[in-house]
Amino acid sequence: MLKLKVNDIDVEVEEGLTVLQACEKAGVEIPRFCYHEKLSIAGNCRMCLVEMEKSPKPIASCAMPAAEGMNIKTNTEFVEKARKGVMEFLLANHPLDCPVCDQGGECDLQDQSMYYGVDKSRFKENKRLVPEKNMGPLIKTQMTRCIHCTRCVRFATEIAGVPELGAIGRGEDMQITTYLEESMQSELSANVVDLCPVGALTSKPYVFEARPWELKKTETIDVMDAVGSNIRVDTYDWEVKRVLPIINEDINEEWISDKTRYACDGLLHQRLDTPFIKYNKKFEKASWAEVYKIIKSKIENTTKEKICGFVGDLTNMETSYIFKEFFERTLDIKNYESRTDNRFINILNREDYIFNSSLNGIEETDLIFLVGSNPRYEATILNARIRKSHLNNNTKIYSLNENGDLTYPYQSFDGQTQTLKNIFNGQHELSKHILNSKKPMIILGESFLRLNNAEFLYIKMKEFLSQNNKLSEDWNPLNILSCDASSVGNFDLGFINKEKNILNDLKSNKFEIVYLVGQDNLDFNKKDEFVIYQGSHGDKGAEIADIILPGAAYTEQDAHYTNLEGKIQKAYKASYPPGESKEDWQIINEIAEFMNNRKLFNDKEELESSMFNYLNLQKEKQNKEYLNEFSGEFKNEKLTIDIKPYYFSNIIARCSKTMIECNNSKLNLKSTGTEG
């Protein structure tokens, strides 16, 4: 520990920290533009100048390592003068267009020039003008405003792993641009908008939409992938205007993916806002009482074995739970399912379907083996963590399949399950690496779980790892990477049918009533089934429905989601459901009331506490011994990684114009063949 003085306050800091961090520890605020905790140190904005005893010149505190016995002063006239000087230089070429700048109100330069700047400039010459750059459909540029802090360049190179941004030219002619002004090929690209301390890079879909002080801010959870990034949803009246990340060091750090950020305009389009009934292949508006009546008579006139229910990829846990209760208590049947494919899942032991090593664990591991997973598209934030781990710890990364560019180098194998079997029999070069590794990590994607031999191979892996003491109480190297926000929550709630294969029955048209809650991805040919669709958007599910019940989207109801690590988080209501639509749990509760004259739950609190009771009971019932032996035969197959198109992976993204533009921008790039 180093001892130093900041404004006569004694502070102790660890070795390797900078003067700026020491000042922060002493509770002194240092203005800065280029310095950012998550990025490398550049030291080029000079805003963080402080006075150091025995130094004739002010020092840049962000780049100066703290040392024993330093005496730092930040409140002297000398420092004030230095800051004013730097500010004057920064503003020399900065346009005075705050009234028409989208950053206005949340601009570091604006705020800091108020505190530390001077109110006039001595710069009489012409200001420079920099042409706008094309950075793709998400980032609007106004490069005249740029102060060359290079945060965006460092982000693209270090975190996103796409070194496409750079500073060309020099001196007054320096410009930040992408290589030949092509759009950025990253799923994290829009984070540069948050990083930009001025209005040079702003959000294109949000351009001139609102001022930050007009927006209602709600901190909630993202559902675009299973990572469960923490987000802030900004709403203006009913409309969700934008989505921003909030810091959660255990999950998304400071970043969110482009889909999380920009799929929100899908919440405004193709919404179901009133119940519909299909008459003669045409949908007609109806009232809630009418649709409830039809549902009641339909259900009463059908044998209960012929009724089945599905929940979708964005369904929250409350809805899944009440839907399950509806089937078990009101209909007295267990024909429900949350999977859309016949994947292997052992629901009796929680460790067999969550990401055991946790997201923070990625930074501790020394070997990562990807099996049937492409984390870049399936869990972008998790992929950024793998890259971070690779850069910081030189973690070795292997993949069973060739996966394209994952933003870090990795070694790939042939994608045959025979190879996988050999690895976990100890007959492969990788077996040795796994044995030599202290904390190996094996990431199993959904494509792996869909294999015919998934169960055999999973048991094989578990066996191999526990025999070699790699599987212990505090480190479980087996990680399942779920793709959908609802997956783990549904498994926790036991929302799968263990006795029979509902999906096969559905495909062979054995059911008469199919109740879909936000489920649009079922691959079945409708014959005479009566389909009830409950959801927020009109898409594939609503198309085949006979009755549509308008539900709420993830920003419109308080609800819980469990992320892929098994961490349960609450999403808060930022807006309200449009038109006559209701929250999902409410609809199911009302149907139950209509049928039995008794609500399933009196209110949401009762539902919530009942759900948590159930979850706690399930935790006690864990059966770790179930998976031990497997009698099936092993047959080699080719593992193909089957991922949903990144920009259209769920119903909200499919309805989003921004996502369509993103997708098109990538397509165009491919067709011109200029990508290298």
Partner 1 sequence: MSLRRPAKNQPENFEFNNSSLDAANKIVSKYPKGKQQSAVMALLYIAQRQNGNWIPLAAMKYIAKFLDMPYIKVYEVATFYTMYNLSPVGKHFIQVCTTTPCMIRGASKLVEACKEKISENECELSNDKSCSWMEVECLGACVNAPMMQINDEYYEDLDKEKTLKILDQILKGETPQAGSYRGRINNEPENNRKTLMDYKNA
* Nearest to partner 1 of 52, 135 (CB atom): 135
143 backbone dihedrals φ, ψ, rounded to 5°: -70, -10
Backbone phi, then psi, for 232, in 5-degree steps? -115, 125
Minimum distance of partner 1 from residue 319's CB (angstroms): 46
- Tell whether residue 157 is a contact of partner 1 (CB under 8 A): yes
CB of 166 to partner 1, least distance (A): 4
170 vs 281, beta carbon nearer partner 1: 170
Judging by DSSP bridges, how do beta strands 175-178 and 165-168 pair with one another?
Answer: antiparallel
Alpha-carbon distance 324 to 341, whole Å? 19
Cβ proximity to partner 1: between 152 and 503 the closer is 152
Interatomic CA distance for residues 305 and 370, integer angstroms: 41
Q: Supply the minimum distance, in Å, between the C-beta of residue 185 and partner 1.
A: 12
Q: State the nearest-atom distance from the C-beta of 641 to partner 1, in Å.
A: 26
Q: How many residues bind partner 1 (CB under 8 A)?
A: 16
* Contact flag: residue 125 with partner 1 (CB under 8 A): no
CA 626 to CA 634: how far, in whole Å? 20
550 bridge partner residues: 535
Distance (Å, rounded) from C-alpha 446 to C-alpha 484?
10
Any contact of residue 164 with partner 1 (CB under 8 A)? yes
Which structure tokens are listed for 608? 């919530």
How far apart (Å, rounded) are the C-alpha atoms in residues 151 and 149? Answer: 6
Helix, strand or coil, per DSSP, at residue 253: strand
Query: Residue 168 CB, nearest distance to partner 1 (Å)?
Result: 4
Q: How far is the CB of 192 from partner 1 (least distance, A)?
A: 14
Helices (H) and strands (E) in the chain, counts: 21, 26
DSSP state string for 623-635: -SSS-S---SPP-
Compare residues 165 and 308 and give the one whose CB is closer to partner 1: 165
Bridge partner list, 244? 232
For partner 1, the binding residue among 16, 56, 99, 676 (CB under 8 A) is 676
Helix (H), strand (E) at residue 524: none
Stretch that binds partner 1, among 46-54, 161-169, 252-260, 652-660 (CB under 8 A): 161-169
Query: Does residue number 163 form part of the binding site for partner 1 (CB under 8 A)?
Result: yes
In whole angstroms, how close is the CB of 157 to partner 1 at the nearest point?
8
Considering the complex, state which of residue 185 and residue 401 has its C-beta at the smaller distance from partner 1: 185
Contact between residue 370 and residue 398 where contact means Cβ atoms under 8 Å apart? yes
Q: In this structure, are residues 584 and 518 in contact, taking their beta carbons and an 8 Å threshold?
A: yes
134 part of the interface to partner 1, by CB under 8 A: no
Residue with structure tokens 């959908």? 484
Q: Which CB atom, from 21 or from 178, has the smaller least distance to partner 1?
A: 178
Site string for partner 1, 166-205 (x = CB under 8 A): xxxxxx-x-x--xxx-------------------------
Shortest Cβ distance from residue 337 to partner 1 (Å)?
A: 47
Q: How far is the CB of 196 from partner 1 (least distance, A)?
A: 18
- Per-residue tokens: 411: 């070694």
Site string for partner 1, 636-655 (x = CB under 8 A): --------------------
Which residues bind to partner 1, rule: CB under 8 A? Answer: 157, 163-171, 173, 175, 178-180, 676
